[in-house]
Amino acid sequence: MSNKHISHYKILNKIGSGGMAEVYKATDLNTKDQVALKILLPNLATDEIIRKRFLREAKIGMQLDHPSIVKVYEVREDRKRPFIAMEFVKGETLDQIMRSGSLDLERSIEIGLKVTDALSVAHAQGVFHRDLKPRNIMLVGGNAKVMDFGLARIVGESSLTEQHMIVGTLSYMSPEQAIGGEIDGRSDLFSLGVVLYEMLAGIRPFSGDNLGATLHAILYSDPLSIQELNKDIPDEVEKVILKALKKKQNRRYQTALEFRTDLEQLQALFQGKLVQLIAKKEVFEETPRGIYSKFIGRDKELESLEKCLSHALSGESTVLLLQGEAGIGKSRLAWELGNRAKEKGVRYMTARCLPKERGYAYQPIIEIIRDYFELKMIRDLEGVQDFLENKACHLATREGIVQTLLQMNPDKPVVLINKDQLWDTISELVKVMAKDRAIIMHLDDLHWADSLTLNLLVYLAMTTRQERILIIGSYRPEELVDEDSKSHPLNTTLASLQKGRLCEEMTLRRLGKEDTRHVIDSVLSHSKFADSFYDSIYRETEGNPLFVLEVLGYLRDVGTMVQESSGWRLASETTGMAIPDRLTDVITGRLRKIHRESRNILDVASVQGYDFNSEVICHVLGLSRLKVLRCLQDLELSHHLIHALERRYQFDHAMIQETVYNTLIPELKKEYHKLIANYYIERYRDSDQQAGTIAHNLMNADEEQESLPYLLKAGEYCRKLFAYNDALHYFNRGIESINKIPNDLTPELNNIRLSLFKYRADTQLSVGSYKEAKDSNEQHWRLVQEYGTPEEQASCLHVFARIYTGLADYKSALNNCDKAIRIQRKIKDRSGQVRILLDYGTIYFRLGDYKNSLKHLKKALNLARQTGHETAQSNALTNIGVVNLFLGNLDEALQYYEQAMDIAQRLKDKRGIASALANIGAVKESSGEYTQALRYFEQSLTIKMEMGDRSGAGDTISNIGLVQFEMGNFDKALEYYRKAIDIRTAIGAKWGLAATLNNIALLYHYTGDYEKALHYYNEALALNISIGNRTYEMYSRRYLLRFWLDIGDAARAHQQADSIRKLVKVLKSEFEDMWYEINLAHLKMKKGLHDSAMKHIRKGLAAAKRMDCLEAYIEGLLIAGKAELARANTAKAKNYVNDALQLATEKKRKCDMAQTYLLLAKINLNGNETKTAEENAVESKKISEACGTKEITWAAYYLLGEIHKKNKQHIKAKSEYQEAKKVLDVITSKLSKELRKIYLNKTEIRQFYKDLKRSTSRKK
């Protein structure tokens, strides 16, 4: 102040200021005492109402006298400046202390005790503080003093909208004070609860980005558990604070003395004493929403759920599928479990699936993850980084994916390797959540979930089996048939969960007559009705709980029932009682009783959907936030139609939302949808994530043309998330809409039209719908020819090439490549040329024309180097390596893979590094350097797992299994194959799954477990046929042909040969031609057509040598050896087999070595070289026993018996025969009756048993 005196006080210095007054240190010239002067601000002092209120309210504080209250000495005016003279306290305010650091637990409770002392005195005299906050609490030594009693009333309720009212003050208000309701002392106790919470947790329990968000939190949000933020806080402390923070006044402490009593008990607790609190465990429970009844008629079901939860708490996660008709009580049952589970420290988290037009891929699961991060107060990028570093360091490299899930960085593009990287990240986040605290995840209304969400649910069920998680999925069975009678995607999910034994199921039935009566009595407590009343309600509702509750609400609203002090009664004693026949009619009747303004708010909410946002309502109706929040509170508390969540609202049941929406006239619906669309456009115009919502509302507003750019953007966003079905939904809607527009389109609409057809074709291609993609691309081509650019024409032709490649129509694929590259050369699009050249390489490779494949890939590499496009260089190098590896040019393959690795390392491309490591591992595997191969594969696997590339990890794990198989470590191989199966099943990678099933079948085939081998061969074949994978279908049939030859069923082997012949004609691949010749040689050998067999095997060997295919070459040499032996060309036979042995030994292919030694033994025995034959047979037996190849083992024992018999060592022969029989017994014991009969009828088996019989009947 410029004047150093006011009244009889001398101003010394300014010590503080606020939105209402300035505070000065002063000396009372009469007493010489130091005082604090609070002087009303000049702009407020001129307001007569505020000036008078200041003087009146401040004088109330003069009657308060207590050591914990700052004493008010005088209230008066001087030169029209009202002021208060009060006790000068040397100390700091609580907010100053809190800013400098946190307070310990015991000190916080001591402060709370002092404040309750002050409040007790004030409340006893009818004085309420109204603005209790840390700034109004002074700390002086060991004491705390409360100041400014009653001053909050001076500026009144209007302060909520004044610029000088800070959010911090609102954050300490009770719900009733925040909305201008009647308050009493319990409001101050709520404010003290906020202060204590902040002291112990370090944050306020109710806050938001703006006044409206803070107000919503105060009215509706439950505070975070203090133990979430400070694990050292005992349960008892949290109970006391949470009781003070109850929304309803009658559930808080009723007096400051009660509050003080519990705070004293906490002090006794700190001293190790047993305590009895007023605050009970009920403070942790939520209040059920809507018209509330006690939990009735579901005790057995709840007991079953609690058993499932117990298993989950012990680390045995499961999925519980809860089915029942609408309104049957599924959500209530899950809620009751969650409410009870809180006592065990379990989190209950729920999200509801939404219809396709309102939901998005993975929506309910992502919502739960977002709620968790909100729970942990992680609201910005820095918070995410800190969380990943400290709680989930293994996900640190996936920060961008986590940000995408949380919608924290909308400007950053979504970069995902594949769908399963996203799935794995979500799964790992859920595991982190479960490690923090056991959780119940309730996914409600699964019948509305999209297929990707359902697939992710199966994935979570598989990957979280050992976590403390109980997933509850509830759905309506009547919704599981689509309008077009197609099977609902949830049926597929249910089948998958059932097949994998990943779920338990429960069906909720309607309540019986007696339970229905109990529900009515629970709602209408202390009432007596005639039996006819209960009978009428039961008859009309048939025991559907929601229908029962809605009928009771209806009867209350229309005045059929009235409430008296003794309870409820019928308004009229007449026997007739009108109850609408349908639930929707009951809801409609209740809606008629709502005030018009509230009904308008409810209408807009229904247009938003089951979940809705108050800010949207404010925008659409032009109402103030406070007015909307008050109406919403009335709709919740008085009408029981909606309920509030942390950041949004929900209707109490989907049928309420549907009924409200359906009562709107069409024009009003359209107008509301348009206004809602405008809100999202204004706020989220550039957000890909909100494009679907904008498009949905514009479409429903009949603004189809305006919706087109948003439909396109929504589809593109879904593609980035690999949500291809959702993407197709948006593209199809866009195409339908744009086709309705006349042909004279604007350039902008033409571009949108082109993009819609282009992206639809690309998406259909991505999901393997080649015929549909071809149709879409043909439509795109017609448009591109009409008004597209040359670049677009070349791109369209390139898509045709990829489609025809998928259809195995390689001639058409090459034709389109030719057309595309001519355009690209003309317009000098070198990047486009590189892409086409890479595709040429792929097509020629599939045709088996490896020379042309390498030629085009090398052209692509040179062009990519000229353009400096390193990613394209890496792709070309990798593909060249693949071809060389396939041809057996291992050194060249290694050279190209290492160059690709250098580029990936330079670009810090982890995916490229992992791929290069796996490829180098494949080279080492092919060269027989198994130890090095395993090292490279394991390095690759580590990176892929770190990135969440589950698909790539499945490939690498399968490759590790293959190395173990080739090393003869069949048990380890099977272990890795099963891991690969689990991953590929979980992510739905059918191509990789089929390949691994083939590998497992081959392993069982080698080990003589023919029944299992046949099972897996057939599974692999069926899967390959179902996905249209003809190349791998060929593999499956080739192995099945060998299987039936080995088992002894020539007819079935010929059936497979016929199918292979047809596939060979379609595929036109030199590689498949080679195997076909080898397979024919096998068949001819079985028929005894040895000369014909040699013709085929010569062709096969020539092709295998030309392509340097080691596996085929060794197999061909062995068949040639058998054929020459049968033709009595012993020397030639031995040459072929020795060549095979040399190759098998060099490459350490143990199974091939065992088979080769066995055939060599037969050749030497045939040439009477019994000693050498015996050595060969012993070596075969030793290797095959180590590998577990029983078919070779029994044959080796049998051959040793034959050798000993030829040497007239009959005892030894007999012993070897008996060993052979033991192995045969193991093989046949695992065969079905049918296969055993076929197997035992084989010529060599029948001959063996004859020889065995002779050896056992021979006299000594």
3-state class (DSSP) for residue 333: helix
Joined together, the tokens standing for residue 117 give 């002392």
Complete DSSP assignment for 785-841: HHH--HHHHHHHHHHHHHHHHHTT-HHHHHHHHHHHHHHHHHTT-HHHHHHHHHHHH
3-state class (DSSP) for residue 73: strand
Joined together, the tokens standing for residue 666 give 């069409």
Rounded CA gap, 331 and 517, in Å?
A: 21
Rounded CA gap, 525 and 364, in Å?
A: 37
Q: How many other C-beta atoms can be found within 10 angstroms of the C-beta atom of residue 1109?
A: 20
Rounded CA gap, 200 and 204, in Å?
A: 10
Helices in 101-224 by DSSP H: which ranges? 105-124, 167-170, 175-178, 185-201, 211-220
Query: Please, which residues have CB within 8 angstroms of residue 64's CB and are 6 or more apart in sequence?
Result: 71, 72, 121, 122, 125, 127, 149
Residues 771, 773, 775, 778, CA torsion sign:
negative
Q: Amino acid identity, residue 30?
A: N
Joined together, the tokens standing for residue 1222 give 């033991």
1015 alpha-carbon distance from chain centroid: 33
477 burial type by CB count under 10 A (0-12 exposed, 13-18 middle, 19+ buried): middle
What's the maximum distance between 2 C-alpha atoms anywhere in the chain? 140
E strand or H helix at 759:
helix 747-766
Does residue 429 contact residue 387 with C-beta atoms inside 8 Å? no
Residue linked to tokens 């024309």:
849
Residue 38, annotated as binding a ligand:
yes
221-230 long-range contacts (CB < 8 A, ≥24 apart) are 221/644, 221/646, 222/286, 222/646, 223/197, 224/375, 224/377, 226/197, 226/200, 226/201, 228/375, 228/376, 229/201, 229/202, 229/203, 229/377, 230/200, 230/201, 230/202
CA triple 1178-1181-1187, angle to 5 deg: 145
Rounded CA gap, 1069 and 844, in Å?
A: 9
Rounded CA gap, 1193 and 1179, in Å?
A: 10
- Per-residue 3-state assignment (H helix, E strand, C coil) for 412-471: CCCCCCCHHHHHHHHHHHHHHHHHHCCEEEEEECHHHCCHHHHHHHHHHHHHCCCCCEEE
DSSP tag of 249: G
Residues for the chain: how many in total? 1260
Does residue 207 contact residue 242 with C-beta atoms inside 8 Å? no
Q: How many other C-beta atoms can be found within 10 angstroms of the C-beta atom of residue 991?
A: 15
Joined together, the tokens standing for residue 812 give 């058409």
Closest alpha carbon to 195 in 139, 234, 248, 124: 139
Rounded CA gap, 522 and 541, in Å?
A: 17
Rounded CA gap, 640 and 549, in Å?
A: 10
Does residue 923 contact residue 885 with C-beta atoms inside 8 Å? yes
Binding annotation for ATP: 38
- Binding-site positions read 38
